Amino acid sequence: MSTQPETQNRSETPERNSSAETVLGFIIIGLLAGGTVGVVKAFSMTSGVGVMCCLFGSVVAFGAVYYIYFGKR
């Protein structure tokens, strides 16, 4: 007598572990905070090179958040 194995209906994307979601949430919050601090810090700088470095870092931080949040879904 042969039986057919039960197949589980799973979505295309695997479910994430709750601790991984928590860590990812903290990473996103940290990147958003870092990007915001970079923008605020750029307002108080006097040299153009310093302003560009702060704004570049902010763009990278916000881009990483965008990639993490929207790129994986």
Triad 23, 28, 31: Cα angle to 5°: 125
Count of the separate structural domains present in the chain: 1
Q: What is the pLDDT of residues 10-60, one digit of tens each?
A: 555 556 578 888 888 898 999 999 999 999 988 988 899 999 999 999 999
pLDDT of residue 70: 82
| CA–CA distance, 55 with 70 (Å, rounded to integer) | 22
pLDDT of residue 29: 92
pLDDT at 7 over 80: no
pLDDT of residue 18: 83
Helix (H, G, I), strand (E, B) or coil at 12: coil
Hey, how many other C-beta atoms are within 10 angstroms of the C-beta on 63? Answer: 13
Report the predicted TM-score, pTM, of the whole model to 2 decimal places. 0.66
Its domain, for residue 37, covers: 18-71
Does 36 reside within a domain? yes
Does 44 reside within a domain? yes
Does 34 reside within a domain? yes
